[in-house]
Amino acid sequence: MEAVLSSYLAHLAVERGLAANTLASYRRDLRRYMEHLRARGRGELGEVGEADVQAFLAALREGDGEHPALVASSAARAVSAVRGLHRFALREGVTAHDPAHQVRPPRQLRRLPKAITVDEVERLIAASGPDGAPLTLRNRALLEVLYGTGARISEAVGLAVDDLEDDQVRLRGKGGRTRVVPLGRYARAALDAYLVRARPGLLAHGRGTPAVFLNARGGRLTRQGAWEVLQAAAERAGLDGISPHVLRHSFATHLLDGGADVRVVQELLGHASVTTTQVYTLVTVDKLREVYAAAHPRARQ
């Protein structure tokens, strides 16, 4: 079993190119699985049955004297590692069957995206920094773009000047997919002010870059730098738990609250499947309840 495990981990590292942290997690989970199998008297992977894999999943969720119980997401990762190991062993001819094929990872609770109100968005953007300062103009433009387009943080900092076209912007998303998203009046005005009054001065400090958003040294603003801009504005606005994804979630939720079709929101967010976007429709149920309570004669008590 150890030889197969070593071969599988090498396959993940070399052929699949898994990140170091992910590989470390898989190695830890599979070492625990090996211990579990040996405790059940299994010396070869070919001896393992579905009951052994199911018992391992139960052990993950229940914990023992040496291991705390795992939450659903961590247990699902461990089961995924086990399923991958058995698929690899079957494909390589080490075993004649895959005992983990029918074992499903535990279902995870669906976390609803967090969204802030329109008033809170306005407070956040208003807290960009001291009026008129070059970095304040940049910060305001960045926040307006994040909220006004639903861009991911990587998409925003990856923008080049050539990606701006009048009242729309070209965003490069996951998997190299490109989409064009409209620019609202507020985002366009904030970008214009930054590009005319602040970016040239920042650019003069660097070596020249096509990036839209620059740091104080004239180079491209990094994801970490953009995160710090957002955190500083959130602190000044007195808002907790704000992240770039919160603005993205707010963008989608406010569109749906305003009557946008979920398919349109899917295109704007750059989701490959509408199923990913439909989670936002659950967020707007509170809005539906609010309207129902205010408008239906039998709702009022």
Question: Tokens 């590692």 appear where?
Answer: 81
Let me know the angle formed at the C-alpha of 110 by 108 and 114, rounded to the nearest 5 degrees: 140
- The strand order across the sheet containing 178-182 reads 164-165, 168-172, 178-182
Active site includes 27? no
Which residue out of 245, 263, 287, 289 is catalytically annotated?
A: 245
- How many Å separate Cα 202 from the centre of its chain? 30
Per-residue tokens: 246: 């919160």
Q: What single letter denotes the amino acid at residue 18?
A: L
Which residue out of 86, 140, 152, 188 is catalytically annotated?
A: 152
Active site includes 287? no
The counts of H helices and E strands in the chain are 15, 3
- 190, 140 in Cβ contact below 8 A? yes
Which residue out of 140, 248, 249, 254 is catalytically annotated?
A: 248
Ramachandran class of 116: left when φ > 0, alpha when ψ lies in -120 to 50, beta otherwise: beta
Active site includes 280? yes
Q: What single letter denotes the amino acid at residue 284?
A: T
Active site includes 31? no
Q: Work out the end-to-end distance of the chain between its first and last CA atoms, rounded to an integer number of angstroms.
A: 67
Which residue out of 28, 174, 197, 289 is catalytically annotated?
A: 174
**Catalytic positions, please?**
152, 174, 245, 248, 271, 280
